[in-house]
Amino acid sequence: MSKAEHLVFAGVVSETLPNTMFLVKLEDSHEMVATLSEAFRPADAMPAVGDHVLVESTPYDLTRGAITLLVG
C-alpha cells in the first residue's frame, strides 16, 4: 500500500490504554484506537489526555490508526 492511500484525521486523545495505545476522539465525533507510529517512537514523547494529534489510517479499517504527529 502506498503512502497516498492513507487517510489523515485530526483528533484529541481522550483516554490512554495499555501497551501504548490511545483512544482518540476525532473531529467528526467518531472514536479510534491508535498506537504510536514507528517514526514517532524514538522521540520518547508520549501523548497525554487532551493532546491534539494527527492519526493516519487505512480506508479498510477506520477504527484503528497510528499517531503520527503531536499538534501544538
pLDDT in tens, 19-46: 989 999 999 999 999 999 888 777 678 8
CATH of 3-71, one of 2.60.40.10, 2.40.50.140, 2.60.120.10, 2.60.120.260: 2.40.50.140
Q: pLDDT-derived band of residue 4, with 50, 70 and 90 as boundaries?
A: low
pLDDT above 70 (res 2): no
Q: Strand 31-36 relative to strand 21-26: parallel, antiparallel, unpaired?
A: antiparallel
Q: What are phi and psi of 47, to 5 degrees?
A: -65, 145
pLDDT for the residue numbered 1 = 56
What is the number of residues in the chain?
72
Q: Where are the alpha helices (DSSP H) in the chain?
A: none
Q: Percent of the chain, pLDDT > 90?
A: 67
pLDDT for the residue numbered 46 = 86
Show Cβ contacts of residue 25 under 8 Å, excluding neighbours closer than 6 positions.
11, 12, 14, 31
In this prediction the pTM is 0.86
Whole-angstrom Cα distance, residue 60 to residue 51? 26
